[in-house]
Amino acid sequence: MSSSASLSEIETLEAFTEELVARLSRVVPEGEVRLKAPLAWEILRLKKTVNAVILGHNYMEPVLYHSVPDYTGDSLQLSAVAAETDADVIVFCGVWFMGETAKILSPDKIVLVPSTKAGCSLAEGVTADDVLRLKEQFPGAPVVSYVNTYASVKAVSDYCCTSGNADKVVRYLLNAGHDRIIFVPDRYLAENTARQLGLRFWMAGGEEEAPASGGGPMVIGWRARCEVHELFTPEDVENVRRQYPDAIILAHPECSPEVIERADVAGSTKLMVDYVRQNPAKRFALFTECAMGDNLAAEFPDRELVRSCSLRCKHMNTITVEDTLRSLQTLTPRVELDPDIISRARKPIDRMLAIR
Ligand code: SF4
């Protein structure tokens, strides 16, 4: 996880603007940076007044990502680090389910998500009722819910997981003697995890009937998909391989199994960021939301990041510097959750964190 503390320590708007222009010169037109720099400057001033900590998900647009967050990273990491601070207010520059996770881990803080339109096709792809029906259909099978779910779904789940530890959580449940594991909501993450561990996979809610017991452990998936990652095709990977034979291809496990099996490395946004930071190779191709490639390209001017600039998440795109400023000025929109949901949704997160 990285922090942009050095930018917030700059003493004048002019120096701040010049530093931001220099940092983003490879990825954002200078005029856009100059337009937004005073807003970012005002955010940095205001956050001290209201004692806020600002979190920036890896998919935030480059000017926002590189200017105002105290911490950048993936959603669970960010929520956990914010809970450790003495801030009164958390501003989560990310989508709504991320704000809910931050609220679950910091129930006494005010949590703001700058846009109420920042949804997610995965989080919206499964409801608590869907999960309860699956539990009824497969009695005794534990439910693992990806962190990309709303609090109401976490509240009826047994374990949470991230894209970085899904295999670890499923392996733990296998070792605990379970031979059927319900995994919601991302069909591809579930299927990729099953493949990785050599398990059978069956998708609930589809045409095929549920296989009978026996025949080996099985992951029971759900039909939701990330509307960004599902667009990558095996042909896209092969085209990049042909055009850039020296590029290391990294793909997010929300991509289809056919994309994952053609990539060099599969992993979470955290794994991708760490990989690029630590690997001396000169060229990488990222099969994930395109803003992350821009953010890494700005951070590593000596590397080339091949990315599909058209694949921008429309939900992440609703979070802007302008909205973030307005959110701090008005202390809205706030994430509000029922205390009972908070306490029930916290349990699967704690169980996941307890797995070693
Ligand atoms: S990139 Fe996919 S998983 Fe992430 S917020 Fe957008 S729709 Fe949801």
Cβ of 113 closer than 6 Å to ligand 1, yes or no, is no
Count of beta carbons in the 10 Å neighbourhood of residue 94: 28
> Is 166 in contact with 205 (CB distance < 8 Å)?
no
Whole-number Å distance, alpha carbon 213 to ligand 1 midpoint, is: 34
Distance CA 306, CA 289 (A): 12
Cβ of 226 closer than 6 Å to ligand 1, yes or no, is yes
Structure tokens belonging to residue 192? 């990729």
Could you identify the residue written with the tokens 């600002």?
Answer: 54
Distance CA 10, CA 15 (A): 7
- What are φ and ψ of residue 87, in 5° steps? -65, 150
Cβ of 148 closer than 6 Å to ligand 1, yes or no, is yes
Question: Do the domains 229-306 and 5-119+316-330 match in fold?
Answer: yes
Q: What is the pLDDT along the chain (356 residues), one digit of tens a residue?
A: 665 557 778 889 999 999 999 999 999 999 999 999 999 999 999 999 999 999 999 999 999 999 999 999 999 999 999 999 999 999 999 999 999 999 999 999 999 999 999 999 999 999 999 999 999 999 999 999 999 999 999 999 999 999 999 999 999 999 999 999 999 999 999 999 999 999 999 999 777 787 777 789 999 999 999 999 999 999 999 999 999 999 999 999 999 999 999 999 999 999 999 999 999 999 999 999 999 999 999 999 999 999 766 789 999 999 999 999 999 999 999 999 999 999 999 999 999 999 98
Could you identify the residue written with the tokens 């998909």?
Answer: 225
> Per-residue pLDDT tens for 9-22?
888 999 999 999 99
Sign of CA dihedral 84, 111, 23, 37: negative
CATH of 123-225, one of 3.40.50.10800, 3.20.20.70, 3.40.50.12280, 3.40.50.2300: 3.40.50.10800
> Is 26 in contact with 298 (CB distance < 8 Å)?
yes
Whole-number Å distance, alpha carbon 45 to ligand 1 midpoint, is: 30
Rg of the Cα trace of the chain?
21
Q: What share of the chain is helix, strand, coil (3-state, %, to 5)?
A: 45, 15, 40
Distance CA 171, CA 101 (A): 24
- Domain extents in the chain: 5-119+316-330, 123-225, 229-306
Distance CA 54, CA 8 (A): 12
304-325 burial code (b ≥16 CB/10 A, e <16): ebbbbeebbbebbbbbbbebbb
For helices 96-105 and 339-354, what crossing angle results, to 10°?
A: 80
Confidence at residue 213, expressed as pLDDT on a 0 to 100 scale: 73
Cβ of 228 closer than 6 Å to ligand 1, yes or no, is yes
For helices 75-83 and 96-105, what crossing angle results, to 10°?
A: 30
Could you identify the residue written with the tokens 């005029």?
Answer: 31
Whole-number Å distance, alpha carbon 265 to ligand 1 midpoint, is: 20
Cβ of 95 closer than 6 Å to ligand 1, yes or no, is yes
Whole-number Å distance, alpha carbon 19 to ligand 1 midpoint, is: 30
- In three-state secondary structure terms, 235 is helix
Distance CA 157, CA 306 (A): 38
Nearest to 95 by CA among 77, 71, 78, 113: 113
Fold of 5-119+316-330: Rossmann fold (3.40.50)
- In the sheet that holds 143-146, the strands lie side by side as 159-161, 143-146, 180-184, 218-221, 200-203
For residue 89, which amino acid is it?
A: V
Cβ of 316 closer than 6 Å to ligand 1, yes or no, is yes
> Is 223 in contact with 188 (CB distance < 8 Å)?
no
Between the two ends of the chain, the Cα-to-Cα distance in Å is 20
Q: Enumerate residues 6+ apart whose C-beta is below 8 A from 14.
A: none
Whether this prediction's pTM lies above 0.85 is answered by yes
CATH architecture for the domain at 229-306: 3-Layer(aba) Sandwich (3.40)
Residue nearest to atom 2 of ligand 1 (CA): 226
Helix (H) or strand (E) holding 56: strand 52-57
> Is 54 in contact with 68 (CB distance < 8 Å)?
yes
| 254 CA: nearest ligand 1 atom | 3
